[in-house]
Amino acid sequence: MGERYYFLMDLERTLRQEMPCFWLGNKHGYTYSLKEAGLFPKDLAEKIVKADYDNSTIMIDSRLVKKTRLFDLGTI
């Protein structure tokens, strides 16, 4: 079945800008473009979410995003 990968969404920035805001893959910044967003393996994504002191980061299964086309996926 393969390893699952997740996008990490920052809810604080998402709500403030009224646009989905995602973590970059290197964990050093954010992007409003899903094409630029990082994909994180499940174990790392869970660690990042758990360590978020203000609980504003959530995991979004990349398969769900692709299957439901929740966002404009472009070339993902």
* SS3 of the chain: CCCCEEEEEEHHHHHHHCCCCEEECCCCCEECCCCCECCEEHHHHHHHHHHCCCCCEEEEEHHHHHHHCCCCCCCC
Token code pair at residue 58: 């959530």
pLDDT band at 74 (very low <50, low <70, confident <90, very high): very low
Residue 73 predicted with pLDDT over 80: no
Q: Which residue has the tokens 């758990």?
A: 50
Model pLDDT for residues 13-57, shown as the tens digit of each residue: 999 998 889 999 988 899 998 889 999 999 999 999 999 999 999
pLDDT value for 3? 84
pTM attached to this predicted model: 0.83
pLDDT value for 71? 61
Residue 76 predicted with pLDDT over 50: no
